[in-house]
Structure 1
């Protein structure tokens, strides 16, 4: 049977008698197929088995189209390769964030793109019923070990494994820039109860400290990721409420090196270039006059939160 005919035959079987149930089944299969296609693309790129031009041709796209569609997704999926470094090096969040990110009346909260549970832990300790959704298996393993009281599930912002209107609030920490907003916004709105809230959170290094600025320059000498930490969201979400909290993450030289190693653009570097970068970061931390000889280092951060309410 020709590929086109096979595809139509499978689609007809899934749709059955049609109607909304048929459409729902078809949509679920399309989502599963797209997820599998992304995994195949990731395998090809990880093994350097195919160029973007070859991948585009296999998918009926141009090279540019394939790159636009998958390069960002593959970077988002790279964290599993550095899950240990992520858990060791990434900062948590200030306690004061919880009261602003989650309304007092909220009871069941979705931590979407939860990573290794840096924010999940705070949500659970605040007495909330937390579902943590994370697409990467290695990150989920770290998450489940770090926050055993959270319900950990596989899923993504584009395919959330929860029922309609089943949570009072959604929080997204350090992950919104990896989502496809055209799909994620209606999917998040679907699982939120009417009047529920969505909070988008980022930790941003405060580079007004001279040594932190030097660290940032080192980190970005090969690549720089520009992130909009004050996004505007479309309907059905209302006007944003914004908050900034300045604080310090107390860590060690090893912790800062691990933080650098966990960045997606560092994970993607060729191994020799990555090794040089991490060695240069370690040298900066060991020799900078503001840091030399310190067992603990206070890395300054600004935590930014944007909260919106579902109409």
Structure 2
């Protein structure tokens, strides 16, 4: 079991691979992001949005293109340098934002790095009354055998639990969820680069990294041959919570 402090430290290391991260990590499907607008007539232009754990800005760019008023919060200064949104160095447990200052908090690809109870309390503090939290999780579609094998070789840790629903407390109640299937095209080098953006790679020594790369290239040459690019199957898990 990874202790909370160690988990948080691992979650701050992605800036070291910021450029590669932006190149090979996929964005978020429109239908998953737009779950935030369920049962609301106002559009993105009317929303003050905190992209929490924003990193290099994969989601921030999508929100800005929709016209949202975005503030990006992340503890990793190297990652934030690539984020195009106005930003603040902070954590999920201590954002530094004012109380009741945002209408929507979106956590994309970062919820598992947080101290859930402390993050929920902080999110509830910065949300305006009736505000919402959208959790987005892109993961390899490990329901498919060859993708499951790929995930295990790169130590991605992607596990699909259909029954999972976030229950963080602090008055945040689940009001909707959605699973969106999609693909992203990568060649063998791109898949190796994808492994390089994973926390296992970032915290490993050079010998382990070399072994992972060799195993990946061997698998994609001999067991699941890839020539050119392949559509790598993903799923986006979206969970919408509302402050009651």
- Alignment of 1:264 with 2:204, yes or no, is no
CA distance in 2, matches of 1:114, 1:247: 21
1:226: Cα distance to partner?
A: 6.2
Q: As a proportion of its length, which structure holds more helix?
A: 1
Gap runs ≥5 in structure 2: none
SS of corresponding position for 1:165: coil
CA distance in 1, matches of 2:174, 2:77: 35
- 2:18 pairs with one of 74, 83, 89: 83
Q: TM-score, normalised by structure 1?
A: 0.70
1:219: Cα distance to partner?
A: 1.8
Q: TM-score, normalised by structure 2?
A: 0.88
Larger Cα-atom Rg: 1
Structure 2 contact 134–239 (Cα < 8 Å) conserved: yes
**Structure possessing the higher relative contact order (Cα contacts under 8 Å, 6 or more residues apart):** 2
Residue number in structure 1 paired with 2:131: 196
- Alignment of 1:213 with 2:148, yes or no, is yes
- Alignment of 1:132 with 2:66, yes or no, is no
Gap runs ≥5 in structure 1: 1-63
1:81: Cα distance to partner?
A: 2.3
Structure 1 contact 101–305 (Cα < 8 Å) conserved: no
1:89: Cα distance to partner?
A: 2.0
SS of corresponding position for 1:96: helix
Q: As a proportion of its length, which structure holds more strand?
A: 2
- Deviation per CA, 1:154-211: give whole Å up to 9, x if none: 1111111221111110000010111112321111111111001001110121123333
- 2:56 pairs with one of 116, 119, 139: 116
CA distance in 1, matches of 2:206, 2:131: 44
Structure 2 contact 72–86 (Cα < 8 Å) conserved: yes
Structure 2 contact 139–236 (Cα < 8 Å) conserved: yes
Structure 2 contact 117–170 (Cα < 8 Å) conserved: no
Q: Kindly tell me the number of residue pairs found equivalent between the two proteins.
A: 237
The alpha-carbon distance between structure 1 residues 154 and 227, as it changes in their structure 2 partners (threshold 3 A), is farther
1:273: Cα distance to partner?
A: 1.0
- Deviation per CA, 1:262-301: give whole Å up to 9, x if none: 1112211121111120222133234445x432x2221111
